[in-house]
Amino acid sequence: MYQGERAIRHPGFTGSFGCDSFHGAEHTMKKTMIQVPSFESANLVDRAANADAPALGDAWTGRGGYRRRTRESAIRLIFLLTALFSITALGLILFFLFREGVPVFKIVSLQDFLLGREWYPTDDPPALGIFPLIIGSIAVITVSCIGAVPLAVLTAIFIAEIAGPRMKEILKPVVELLASLPSVVIGFIGMVVVAPFLQRTFDIPTGLNLLNASLMLGIMTVPTICSISEDAMYAVPRELREASLALGATQWETIFRVVLPASLSGIATAVILGISRAIGETMVVLMVAGGAAIVPTSLLDPVRPMPASIAAEMGEAPFQSEHYHALFAIAIVLFLITFAFNLIADQISHKYKQVGSATL
């Protein structure tokens, strides 16, 4: 049975070996099965007999080996090119960004641009000071993180450590669904539902303000931070948890003093990624932040973060006018801030990295 089956499955079977002696079937088996390099068949006669089905140890030599070598090199080259594509794309974007943004510094000095308080780019001569825009961005990010980071990390702790399997099954997809909501939908809800609500509740002039934008941005960053933190906590090995519990710690003490510090680098990365995402988020702040280019003095003041300015004004700025270059210069500032955040994230994740099995 066994020999026959083996023989019949071989595509080149001609029937002469089929029901023959055991030795014939064995030879067929040797032809069809993967050749594990064995010391018995290391002599030249056997190698010649099996020339068109080379042993693994023969992978890089001989005629068959040449084909395999070039194929491997070609595949490696393809992967290298696909990776280079990302680098090229980033390089091109940076090139155009700087090429279109730098000319604005011919008409305004860097200090006036970054620290000037008035943004009237269509005047003649234009007033190009983006300080209120920068402060608006920073304010929105800070307030949204104050709310979103604890919420996200605690949710991640719940999903990773405390929730039972059924709760986990419900919570994880729901959080990821929150992440997949389009930002324009969130902005629209903020404008139509949350703004009048805030106005009525706090009796303020307008519901399109810093608080509204921070709430909506918080909703968007919570799933990002939560997913990555949760992965970081999963990666903490069981030995650490079990050791802590064995020493008599409660579950809460284990989570707070063992799991959290172990996954700190992952959580820090998650937070910084969430912040980077929020700082560039355009549709939400365009619709709900209010659009007043002032430095906010209270939580309920309208603000105008940088991406909102760019999105609102780019459509009407005449091509290659000072306004156009100024908007690109704002984009450069935005890029540099995000880049700085990425560097900080890298630094933190290296500094707190756990060596050994808890590495994320």
Partner 1 sequence: MQVRAVIVLMSILAVFAVSGLCAAGSNLVIKGSTTVLPIGQKSAELFMKDHQDVNISVSGGGSGNGIKAIIDGTCDIAMASRFVKDKEVKLACEKGIYLVPHRVAIDCIVPVVHPSNPLNDIDLNTLKEIYRGNVTNWKALGGADKPIVAISRDTSSGTYEVWQEKVLQKERVMPRALLQASNGAVAQAVAGNPYAIGYVGIGYLNPYLKGLKVSGVVASPATALNGTYPISRALFMFTNGWPEGETMSYLNYLWSPNGQKMAEAEGFVPLY
Q: Is 292 in the site for partner 1 (CB under 8 A)?
A: yes
Smallest distance, partner 1 to C-beta of residue 288, A: 10
Q: Which of 177, 162, 145 is nearest to 230 (CA)?
A: 162
Residues 245, 251, 255, 257, Cα dihedral to 10°? -60
29 in Cβ contact with 6 (< 8 Å)? yes
Query: Interface with partner 1 includes 287 (CB under 8 A)?
Result: yes
Binding mask 298-337 for partner 1 (x = CB under 8 A): ----x-x---xx-xxxxxxxxxxx-x--------------
Closest to 131 measured CA to CA, from 151, 108, 148: 108
- The site string for partner 1 over 188-227 (x = CB under 8 A, - otherwise) reads ---xx--xx--x-----xxxx-------------------
Q: Which of residues 123-152 bind partner 1 (CB under 8 A)?
A: 123, 132
Q: Does 237 bind partner 1 (CB under 8 A)?
A: no
Distance of closest approach, residue 303 Cβ to partner 1, in angstroms: 10
Dihedral sign of CA atoms 124, 128, 132, 134 in order = positive
Paired sense of beta strands 119-120 and 127-128, if any: antiparallel
* DSSP assignment letter at 294: S
Residue number with CB closer to partner 1 (134 or 287): 287
Which H/E stretch holds residue 120? strand 119-120
> For residues 4-43, which are near partner 1 according to CB under 8 A?
none
**Among residues 107, 294, 333, 344, the one that binds partner 1 under rule CB under 8 A:** 294
Q: Report the first-to-last Cα separation within the chain, whole angstroms.
A: 51
DSSP 8-class letter at 106? G
Using CB under 8 A, list all residues that contact partner 1: 118-123, 132, 191-192, 195-196, 199, 205-208, 286-287, 290-294, 302, 304, 308-309, 311-321, 323
